[in-house]
Amino acid sequence: MTKKLSLTPYLFLAPALTIIAVFILYPALAVFYYSFTDYNIVQAPKWVGFENYQNLVSDPIFWKALLNSFLYLIVTPILIVLSILLAIAVNRPLPGINAFRALYYVPVISGTIAVGIAWRWLFDYNGGLINGILVGVGILEQPVQWLADPALTLPIAMLLTIWIGLGYYMMVFLAGLQNISEDLYDAAAIDGCNAFQKHWYITIPGLRPQIVFIAVISSLAAIEVFNEIYILTGGLGGILNCGVTMVFYLWRQAFRLQHAGYASAIAMVLLLITLAFSIINIRLLERSGQSQ
Amino acid sequence: MTDAKSMSVARVEHHRRTRKKWIENTVWYIILILVAIITVLPFLWILITSIKGPNDAVVSIPLQFVPNEPTFANYVRVWNQLPIGRFFVNSIFVGVVATACNLLITSLAAYPLAKMNFRGRDAIFYLLLATFIIPAQLTYIPSFVLAVNVFKYYDTLFALIFPSLATVFNIFLLRQAFYSVPNDLIDAARIDGASELRIWWQILLPIIRPTLATVAIFTFVNSWNDFLWPSLMLHQRENMTLPVGLVALQGMFASDFRGVAAGVVMTVLPILIFFIVLQKQFVRGLTGAVKG
């Protein structure tokens, strides 16, 4: 690398930096300002100091949203474990295995909205597929009001996230598995390892970069979940706000109730949480980068 | 005697192995098929519902799996009432334009970050790292105000394209790819008098093509499935992308299960065909994505 005093690097960076400044940096600063104002997007913001934050602390729905967003993080370890298992399964050289790989990827391609609408029918009270099967087989005597039960809204949304994410993460792990040398497994077999030990001592450490990558991606996606909740609750957040998450509450306050100032305060809390997460994640990434 | 005995032991051993292998494969297939059923069932149910006639039960226990009067009337009804074709054209337009421009802009920015020495490089890098932490949803309130008051592109497709022209994540991925290109190659081109722009376009981009393909797929699929921001920006039916249009469809055909199902099939089927045709590239792109 030669040291050059030219404009070239700045010119190359200029388009990207302009876009990022206008659409990320400026909005972030503006949201910070709005969070101290009474603002409804139409009229000019009015300075109110810390009022929004004070209201936030005494707002039970906000605390519910915060709790729900953290509960949603359960999907990350489940997704990692299930998609590793699935990747191990489709990594076997069985006839027709490519068809299975493609099939598992179909929900990813179809998108949350289309899949979410399909799921709403599945969990429908009368004649949804789930009730139909469970009552038909005799597991349930009566159909269950899946989506009207406050305790079930969040778990069903999580299930949807897992169901969609599984194929995507499986592919990432599959790539990782194919980078692990076959010799390691042969050596382990000679040393008398059983199948479980082989995967525990070779597969898991071998997949470390992918595990870290997916932990980062899926935990951020979980904290910022919106589409699943929106579709499954019809944009209402569920009975007694049982499905309201941080981003859903932000959206509702800003764009349904025109409380943009209050929503900005929610956004700042969201920023603090993702900041904390990102610091942890970057540490992990750096460490896995060094081990490579 | 001992020889014969050991031979028969070997044969039994061999027999036992193939038997064990056979049982093992069967178990794997059972697992694979079970997961496949869980993956496909919701889609199959939607497909069946979409071709049910007016006298076929959509909501019933026990479930009716085979329609007595299969019909395409539901498709015709939905097609006539909603501009599904327009949704497609809009989604494809936004996806292709945003992805192509994004790759150009982010790869242009990634080159100096990876391969040039200039004043402020580290500062710019850390600034980008900081913006990476900001969740997209946080920017929506100010971006909404910008769209309405400054750029005046509310309810146009440009509102979707402009904010996604540069993404920090892509800059990082491409910077990582440029790192792995040997410096000698670039220095040789510089000695030959090639401009930096030519080095970027004619040497670097062809070398990192696999990474470019992966980043392109991610960016396109993200754009294709994006819902929250498009739902805030797109108002008139003719301007909607597929996910936004699907939600509008669900609102319009609220109690018409058959119609909603037909709409879902119409939006999912083309992308599925696209995926099946390009499956190899998709999988290759994905498997190249995370190499640690």
Summarize the confidence of residues B230-247 as an average pLDDT.
Answer: 94
Mean pLDDT of A250-274: 95
Which one of A19, A33, A124 makes the best mutation probe of the B interface by having the most chain B beta carbons within 10 Å?
A19
If you average pLDDT over residues B220-228, what whole number do you get? 89
Residues of A in contact with B108 (CB under 8 A): 12-13, 15-16
State CA B250 to chain mean position distance.
23
ipTM of the complex: 0.88
Nearest C-alpha of chain A: how many angstroms from B26? 10
| Local confidence band at B94 (pLDDT 50, 70, 90 cut-offs) | very high
Of A173, A169, A170, A166, the closest CA to residue A107 belongs to A166
Chain pair A-B, CB pairs under 8 angstroms: 276
Q: How far apart are CA B181 and CA A204, in angstroms?
A: 30
Who has greater pLDDT, B12 or B182? B182
Three-class DSSP labels, B237-281: HHHCCHHHHHHHHHHHCCCCHHHHHHHHHHHHHHHHHHHHHCHHH
Q: How confident is the model at residue A246 (pLDDT cuts 50, 70, 90)?
A: very high
Work out the pLDDT band at B282, boundaries 50, 70, 90: low
Chain A residues whose CB is inside 8 A of the B128 CB are 20
Residues B46-66 pLDDT 10s: 898 899 888 777 766 666 777
User: CA-to-CA distance for B68 and B47, rounded, in angstroms?
Assistant: 14
State the average pLDDT for chain B.
Answer: 87
pLDDT at B287: 56
Average pLDDT over residues B68-75: 87
What was the pLDDT predicted at B4?
A: 64
Residue A245 has pLDDT above 90, yes or no: yes
State the pLDDT at residue B96: 95
As a whole-number percent, the residues of chain B with pLDDT over 70 amount to 91
Burial of A227 (0-12, 13-18, 19+ CB in 10 A): buried
In single-letter form, the type of residue at position B115 comes to K
Please tell me whether residue B292 adopts helix, strand or coil conformation: coil
CA distance readout (Å), B285 to A16, A178, B130, B206, B276:
24, 14, 28, 15, 14
CB–CB of A115/A201 below 8 Å? no
- Tokens 């898991």 belong to A204
- pLDDT in the model for residue A290: 53
Average pLDDT over residues B185-191: 92
Q: Please name the residue of chain B whose CA is at the shortest distance from the CA of residue A177.
A: B287
Strand partners, A47: A37
Is the Cβ–Cβ distance between B151 and B162 less than 8 Å?
A: yes
* pLDDT score of B276: 78
How far apart (Å, rounded) are the C-alpha atoms in residues A117 and B263?
10
Residue A15 has pLDDT above 90, yes or no: yes
B18 pLDDT tier (thresholds 50, 70, 90) = confident
Condensed to tens digits (0 to 9), the pLDDT of residues A98-145 reads 888 888 888 888 888 998 988 888 887 776 788 888 887 888 888 888
Express each pLDDT in A90-111 by its tens digit. Answer: 888 888 888 888 888 888 888 8
pLDDT at A95: 84
pLDDT at A291: 47
Structure confidence at residue B286 (pLDDT): 59
Residue A37 sits at φ, ψ, to 5 deg, of -130, 165
Which range, of A44-48, A90-94, B196-200, B233-237, averages the lowest pLDDT? A90-94
- B191 in contact with chain A, both atoms CB, cutoff 8 A: no
Name the helix (H) or strand (E) containing B112.
Answer: helix B84-115
Q: Which chain B residue has its CA at the smallest distance from A282's CA?
A: B129
Q: Is B267 on the interface with A (CB under 8 A)?
A: yes
Under the banding of pLDDT at 50, 70 and 90, the label for residue B103 is: very high
Q: In this model, does residue B291 exceed pLDDT 80?
A: no
For A144-149, what is the mean pLDDT?
Answer: 83
Neighbours of A92 (CB within 10 A): 12
Assess whether pLDDT exceeds 90 at residue A65: yes
Nearest CB among B46, B168, B271 relative to A118 is that of B46
Helix ranges, B116-241 (H): 121-132, 140-145, 158-161, 168-179, 183-191, 196-198, 205-207, 209-225, 228-233
Lowest-confidence segment of A2-16, A83-97, B227-241, B260-274 by average pLDDT: A2-16
Q: Looking at residue A1, what is its pLDDT?
A: 46
Inter-chain touch B272–A171, beta carbons under 8 Å? no
The fraction of chain A above a pLDDT of 70, given in percent, is 96
Distance CA A34, CA B146 (A): 14
Q: What is the torsional sign of CA B192, B196, B197, B203?
A: positive
pLDDT at residue A55 tops 90: yes
- CB-CB neighbors (< 8 A) of B116 in chain A: 1, 4, 8-9
In this prediction, residue B163 carries a pLDDT of: 95
Kindly tell me if the per-residue pLDDT of B290 is higher than 50. no
Is A121–B39 a contact, with Cβ atoms under 8 angstroms apart? no
Residue B166: pLDDT band by 50, 70, 90 thresholds? very high
193-252 of B, contacting A, C-beta below 8 A: 196, 200, 221, 224-225, 227-228, 232, 242-243, 246-247, 250
Mean pLDDT of A245-273: 96
Quote the pLDDT of residue A28.
Answer: 95
pLDDT score of A160 more than 90: yes
Q: Assign B52 to helix, strand or coil.
A: coil
> Sign of dihedral through CA atoms B130, B136, B137, B143?
positive
DSSP string for residues in chain A: --B---SHHHHHHHHHHHHHIIIIIHHHHHHHHHTTEE--SSSPPEE-TTHHHHHHHT-HHHHHHHHHHHHGGGHHHHHHHHHHHHHHHHTS--TTHHHHHHHHHHHHHH-HHHHHHHHHHHT-TTT-HHHHHHHHHTS-SS---GGG-HHHHHHHHHHHHHHHHHHHHHHHHHHHHHHS-HHHHHHHHHTT--HHHHIIIIIHHHTHHHHHHHHHHHHHHHHT--HHHHHHTTTS--GGGTT--HHHHHHIIIIIS--HHHHHHHHHHHHHHHHHHHHHHHHHHHHHHHH-
Interchain contact, A94 vs B146, CB within 8 Å? no
Q: Nearest Cβ partner of B106 from A9, A16, A105?
A: A16
Reply yes or no on domain A35-291 having CATH 3.30.300.20: no
Contact B258, A142 (CB under 8 A): no
Stretch among A146-150, A156-160, B199-203 having the lowest mean pLDDT: A146-150
Q: Tell me the pLDDT of chain A averaged across its residues.
A: 88
- pLDDT at A288 (0 to 100): 61
Write the CA distances from A223 to A23, A58, A209, A271, B134, integer angstroms: 21, 22, 21, 11, 13
Question: Looking at chain A, which residue has its C-alpha nearest residue B241?
Answer: A113
Residues 47-76 of B with CB under 8 A from A: 49, 57-63
pLDDT of the residue at B60? 67
Q: Answer with the residue of higher pLDDT: B151 or A195.
A: B151
Token pair recorded at residue B124: 């710019």
Q: Is B135 in CB contact (< 8 Å) with chain A?
A: yes
How many CB atoms lie under 10 A from the CB of residue B12? 10
Q: What are the distances in angstroms from CA B118 to CA A288, B114, B115? A: 28, 11, 10
In this predicted structure, what is the pLDDT of residue A21? Answer: 95
Residue B148: both structure tokens together: 């309405």
**Which CATH number, 1.10.3720.10, 1.10.357.10, 2.60.40.10, 3.40.50.300, labels domain B82-252?**
1.10.3720.10
Q: For residue A41, list chain B residues with Cβ-Cβ distance below 8 A.
A: 141, 144-145
Contacts A133 to B, Cβ<8 Å: 63
Distance from CA of B182 to the nearest CA of A (A): 11
Cβ neighbours of B115 in A, within 8 Å: 1
Please judge whether B109 and A16 are an interchain contact, meaning their C-beta atoms are less than 8 angstroms apart: yes
In degrees, rounded to 5, the angle at the alpha carbon of residue B208 between the alpha carbons of residues A6 and B185 is: 55
pLDDT surpassing 50 at residue A268: yes
Task: Identify the band that residue B115 occupies on the pLDDT scale cut at 50, 70 and 90.
Answer: very high
The domain ranges of chain A are: 35-291
- Local confidence band at B292 (pLDDT 50, 70, 90 cut-offs): very low
Cβ within 8 Å, pair A172-B232 = no
